[in-house]
Structure 1
């Protein structure tokens, strides 16, 4: 077996970069380790500024041909990519679970089918993308979306392929070429996607994948003068660094960042539903940017809510994510585990009371945790933990609930549990969030805008909003006079 090939549960993955339609090795590698058991999954090509320059050059060279490809043909090729994803759905699911520790059952049933849907949705949206012409004093205004150029997409480790394809699909549909830099903790399915894209018939250089550390290859990508768009999902500190890097070239940015989202539970809510919504926040070991990690419960309901929450949380099974019965898998990396535990230890030292969990499990597992007796200005309430750690606070009035909900620097999402439709309208209108769910959670339609307010991000993804970002939107104004008769 080649040194550049890894085999995970019988699935072979090339660990080199994919640049200009070819596999490219680097002088050095980094080790990719499974969070499930600490086993080595592969030695991954460790890119530098050299590979970054090569990938951008390949994307730039391929751009004119791809941009001029008819919409119908681009859409056909994206559907072919979706076909390839569906054909290899089981392989992608197995590899992703091994690489990032998320549940195999979730990958099979929801995540990987959504990856295929991402490509199909934006392929179809491309074909109906239009703005009705309008008149200005007899002049005709025609709006069009022109491809911008090479795009750098930097994606996270918590849902690697799904979150990457939220960006890849609209960027390619718009007529741009792409350089993808996946997170170094979960790079493997990006490599498989490169194979799928090539098999689907995407021309060389249209889709490129480079791997490595942000400090070694990420900066070279985001500061490159030939890059026309940068889209990033991840942490606020990394976003600041990318923004500084992109500033010299005034490269437009789309940033989907962290969250500290609230779940507001009012006394008139369906209590069983509210508890289900709260426990659902442990999904993916709490490693979800949208997670409503701050549970805000009306005082009169708090005792019974807590009792039911504890009972339901106790029924969760934490263990090997490859097993069907498992509800919660491991955290992604020892550094993340240490970070989560540090947050909890400091919270306890500051006076927080542990209601559920509050400690490490075996290996890279952290027990689902609920903390109460926390203050609004405490670190555990204000900062993103990105692990299976929730806090519970109470409120007396609707106004207090809204004040507590909005009192962080984030504004990614919010969830409201109430049985009063008028209350729902009043509260949601005042919440600072890019997405608000009422009596539900994580219902996402790709035609809806998605993104955050405040430190949770810049810009919106989804539907036409994605094309607005990945294109130069042009308005052509045509006069009614001045035409020569060529008849």
Structure 2
């Protein structure tokens, strides 16, 4: 196995990063580009041995990093952000080649957000605190103590952004990290290890291991020295991780799937509603927050559909490296098979294809809209994670809320209405971790993010991230407790 591969002109190390050095494995797995299916290289395939070594390195590095001052931790996180910005173009081209998302999005939005993740949590660390309060004259002081080694398992749809959304607060909190990226998009995690080392992060504080969940993931999540596990991905995998962590009662943070609604009322600005609806095809539909279920008031459903079809027809699907491309490929042939299976079963059950409904070739699935779908059907109830949307109608506000909430998920919801009182009423009744009113995908790291029901456990962002990655301590001091003679 070659230790390094060249991707888009960028050198990427294919080995693990453990304890401040590169570590090879006896076995490898092939990493392919979703753009054309070409094999990019053979990646080190870790197992229990690499998991043990990575956790041991994180455990050994923990006391020193935990004792590092907040100011020094923040300085190093800002240095990592500097490194990301310095290599932004390299990170963008490698990630686009590896996971198929738009290069223009990586350049303008995603990679700048990666740097922002580190800067935000570095700055938040410096102001993290709680005002002291009194209980019968006694002083209560709340502090956030580093928890220990953390295992962070991240998905393939936004690899580096979602990884650093976990890595940054975990490191800021004083923890050490073992990062396990998805095997379908591992390359930018390797580059992050280089950037962190160059920024002066001590050896063992950040470790990156690659491989399959069944081989290395289980060994990480069941390890008794791991004090936190954070996972973003599917519900079945989350259940497996929860079972693995149960023996050690390791605290879990889970950000899982969604089947979010887009509610369009008759009083809505239809042009806005259509713009937001077409935006749900972003990243080829591979967005957990996507509002994949259109719920449209029946009096405007025909006009909404007409405008949507016209607008969606203007999208360009193709090579994500081209500036004019709007929709790139799906991540892997297995994902395309899964997407097409959902669509074909829905059609067999009576759904009507408005647009799309088929593969374009081995890597691309046509943007699809289905209607005449039953509320209890698979296509309405299960996450497809592809460019497949459904449209249903409603006749009353109560019916819209009932349909919106009638799934096992509760990650997000989007509401389009011209009536602020209706927005307030409906929002209050929606089961969702995030609700957007007349907008979509406006995100701030100060806000809590997570889901209800099967969409997750816990919240990330701002102080909520530190609450998860730390052991909170309350110190209670008696009044005049220092006046006694202790000899």
- TM-score if structure 1 supplies the norm length? 0.99
1:437-477 Cα deviation digits (max 9, x unpaired): 00000000000000000000000000000000000000000
Name the structure 2 match of 1:461. Answer: 460
Instruction: Give the CA deviation at 1:305.
Output: 0.2
Name the structure 2 match of 1:136. Answer: 135
SS of residue in 2 equivalent to 1:242:
helix
What runs of 5+ residues in structure 1 fail to find an aligned partner?
Answer: none
SS of residue in 2 equivalent to 1:376:
coil
Name the structure 2 match of 1:260. Answer: 259
Separation (CA, whole Å) in 1 of partners of 2:348 and 2:40: 38
Aligned residues: 486
Instruction: Give the CA deviation at 1:370.
Output: 0.1
Instruction: Give the CA deviation at 1:215.
Output: 0.2
Alignment of structure 1 residues 24-423 onto 2, 5 Å: 24-423=23-422
Separation (CA, whole Å) in 2 of partners of 1:482 and 1:388: 65
SS of residue in 2 equivalent to 1:385:
coil
Separation (CA, whole Å) in 1 of partners of 2:252 and 2:396: 39
SS of residue in 2 equivalent to 1:283:
helix
What runs of 5+ residues in structure 2 fail to find an aligned partner?
Answer: none
- TM-score if structure 2 supplies the norm length? 0.99
1:28-83 Cα deviation digits (max 9, x unpaired): 00000000001111100000000000000000000000000000000000000000
Separation (CA, whole Å) in 1 of partners of 2:78 and 2:67: 18
1:262-288 Cα deviation digits (max 9, x unpaired): 000000000000000000000000000
SS of residue in 1 equivalent to 2:410:
coil
Name the structure 1 match of 2:451. Answer: 452
1:292-334 Cα deviation digits (max 9, x unpaired): 0000000000000000000000000000000000000000001
Instruction: Give the CA deviation at 1:485.
Output: 6.0
Separation (CA, whole Å) in 2 of partners of 1:19 and 1:125: 28
Name the structure 1 match of 2:15. Answer: 16
Separation (CA, whole Å) in 2 of partners of 1:16 and 1:382: 40
Separation (CA, whole Å) in 2 of partners of 1:159 and 1:356: 26
Name the structure 2 match of 1:475. Answer: 474
SS of residue in 1 equivalent to 2:364:
coil
Separation (CA, whole Å) in 1 of partners of 2:485 and 2:107: 61
Instruction: Give the CA deviation at 1:486.
Output: 7.5
Separation (CA, whole Å) in 1 of partners of 2:92 and 2:449: 25
Instruction: Give the CA deviation at 1:484.
Output: 3.6
Instruction: Give the CA deviation at 1:363.
Output: 2.5
Separation (CA, whole Å) in 1 of partners of 2:360 and 2:455: 30
1:377-413 Cα deviation digits (max 9, x unpaired): 0000000000000000000000000000000000000
